[in-house]
Amino acid sequence: MSTFFPDPINKLPLADVPFDGSNIRLLQGEEQQLMFMEFSKDVDLAEHSHAAQWGIVLEGRIDLEIKGVRKSYKKGDRYFIPEGIKHSGKIFAGYTDITFFDEKSRYKKLSQGQ
């Protein structure tokens, strides 16, 4: 998978995520996580909820349904999902973003050898 991000970000550990065709780097803070995400395949996101999430779209498109309102986000758009709010959506191949999770353990580092 080609990468959008520069070497310092690509040196971050991969995140252990259930998305086929993704390249997701994890910057782990004491109480939050920052993810640098790239997708080479479409991904359907089933309805779920978690701590607050904020993202900025760098390339491509994501469709999100938040509080029953469906909206498409593209390059330069930002989205915010408040804590505990159910949401779902679709990530399209070619999508790249930076996502902040107000949760320290949303995702874990991918174990070596996987």
Domains held by the chain: number: 1
> Where in the sequence is the domain holding 41, given as residue range(s)?
32-103
Distances in whole angstroms, Cα of residue 71 to Cα of each of 15, 34, 44, 68, 90: 26, 23, 15, 10, 11
Amino acid (one-letter) located at 88: S
| CATH code for the domain in which residue 54 is found | 2.60.120.10
Does 15 fall in a domain? no
pLDDT in tens, 18-60: 899 999 999 999 999 999 999 999 999 999 999 999 999 999 9
Decide if 51 is inside a domain.
yes
Residue 110 covered by a domain: no
pTM, to two decimals: 0.92
Residue 19 lies inside a defined structural domain of this protein: no
